[in-house]
Amino acid sequence: TLDQENWQQNPAKQSQHNKHLKTTTIMSEQQKCCSGRQRQSPDQDEKQEPELDSGSCAQEDPTLSFPQQRLAESPPQPSHSQDLWPPAETKHLKEAPLSVRVPPPVPLADPSASALRSILTGLQQQIIKQREEYEERIISLEQRNEELEVEVVRLKTNLSQQRHWYQVVQAKIVESERAKAAAELRNATLQREMDQFFDTFGELNNEAKKTEYIVKSF
């Protein structure tokens, strides 16, 4: 009874008690609002952020400045996702993005680009194959050309030898023709001399016969 009388006679204590009750009720409401917001989806969090800023969970009252500071200094309440995971795994999940780099998404292949790439690859292979065939043909033609050059040199050498032999034979033919002409001339001269000899021998024979006939007549 004495405490009630002192309480009723001291209005300062009554006002402090009322303020303390208000702050405790407001803090409990804020904790309920914050825990409900953490259990919502990220889209709902974005929708709820303007409402929290507008003062749905906390009213603008000069008496709430101190409880808000205490709420800010108090450790954060665990969310629904944090309740499901143990502390070690949540720590690992928090540190994972720092150590592991997510590769960039692979761009989807354009079918036209892949078709063009395949066509270009086929053309390049055909060009390489044709180039190899042409190089082989060129090498074979060069070898054949070298063989033909050797054959031409051999034929030229043989031709020069044949020309030399022809000149020698031609000279021998000319010399034989000259010898034949000289022999024919000598034969003609001998024939004339023999004819003259026989003519002279015949006349002498006739004279001898005449002399023999005259001698017999005596």
Which tens digit of pLDDT belongs to each residue from 196-205?
887 777 777 7
- pTM of the model as a whole: 0.33
Confidence at 139, pLDDT banded by 50, 70, 90: very high
Which tens digit of pLDDT belongs to each residue from 154-192?
999 999 999 999 999 999 999 999 999 999 999 999 988
Which tens digit of pLDDT belongs to each residue from 56-93?
444 444 444 444 444 444 545 544 444 444 454 454 44
- Nearest one of 83, 104, 82 to 93, comparing CA atoms: 82
